Structure 1
Amino acid sequence: MSAERPVLIVDDDDDLRETLVDQLAVDGEFVASQAASIADAEAKMADKDARFDAIILDVSLPDGDGRDLCARLRKQGHRMPVIMLTGSDADTDVVRGLDSGANDYIAKPFKLTVLLARLRAQLRIFENSEDAVFTIGPYTFRPAAKLLHEPVKNRRIRLTEKEAAILKFLYRAGSRPVARQVLLNEVWGYNAAVTTHTLETHIYRLRQKIEPDPANARLLVTEGGGYRLDPEGAPTANTPMTEPA
């Protein structure tokens, strides 16, 4: 099963928020946080531990217009998909929503299956776009470019396609360890010719690139029969690091 993707739902309709939270969690594909206002949403976004892969955002909120919030998030550098919800499907409303930086626009009432399909589609587009930038410990990670960048040292680490795929999936898993076989299936597919030894070799090479002491991994750790990213255990700016091979 794929790792849960964190989604923020911003809507002042309590019943709708609760329904979306429950339904998004059904298949274990998403885990949703919720906010009833712009202020609440901004507070959740500002939390240092916050990570949202997508936002479902209502237009009409008690303390402002969701489109204005979307525009501010874009100006702040947030690039995750934003799907706007609205009670009106008038062309002018749709255009204004898209101009604010929204990726998609859905009129209420809507079918949950349609919302989920559009959410998945936007996430697929985003993860393969040049805009996708994730934070992993001291690094910024661009999956499409297969690149890690350490801003403090202005150091760039080139990744192979499989290394980038491994990091992307572990990032999506958050603080949960991912079993070796699950990670193997996700990155290589169900290929009987590929064994966990192949995965372990790639993990070894990744650690050579990103860990100050590869034999004592602190960022990409072994746990629970698999692997997990631990940003809190990542090297700091004062930690000596060798250049990647």
Structure 2
Amino acid sequence: MVTGHTVKAFDDELGQLRALVSEMGGLAEAAISEAIQSLVRRDLGGAARVVDQDRRIDEIEAQIEREVVRIIALRAPMADDLREILAAMKISSVIERMGDYAKNIAKRVPLLQDARGLEPLSILPSMARLVSEMVHNALDAFVARDPQAAVAVCESDRAVDDFYNSLFRTLLTYMLENPHTITSATHLLFIAKNLERIGDHATNVAEMVYFAATGRQMVERAKGDDTLIPVKE
């Protein structure tokens, strides 16, 4: 027979799991913001911190994986609890990828020390703020088990795609009109693509939250990205 103490202990374990996911997501949010601010301010030290702090995100992901295995082995969760626990593990993997994209952005900062003349550079912070907001809201939806909040995150992805498509066209024009900007513009294009991919990952998190909360798959969203550029996954 399940005792009250055992149930409370299980609740505490689920709360700790949510807290780890939230901490990991907060670090990813901060990494995105600091990477972009380092780019705008030409802050090599800030960019280096983003790269260095990425290992903490990796450590929390490993901790979440261990905790999930332990909870499943100890509690044999069913139905809603099992969906939430598995969602936490999957979400941690997605957040780890977000951290990698932020790290990739930071690594390009030293390569863009002479890119002040490129107007699209001023647009990237707005795109990054929107992406960070999506990440934040997706994680809030996970903690609150709120499927409607998850749907709202997915609906925001169109705006991120619009940002990327606009930047793609603008940077392509810069490269065609002034071949001397090709190197810098290409780096900015990859940065924009990294931000767009973080937005995609935020929608993936939201879809997992929706499934964990409802047991149903979210209706597939339409993508607004009509351009293609290779980027390391």
**TM-score interval for Structure 1 and Structure 2 normalised by the shorter chain:** under 0.3
Higher helix share: 2
TM-score using structure 2 length: 0.27
Structure that is richer in strand per residue: 1
| Greater relative CO, 1 or 2 (CA 8 Å, sep 6+) | 2
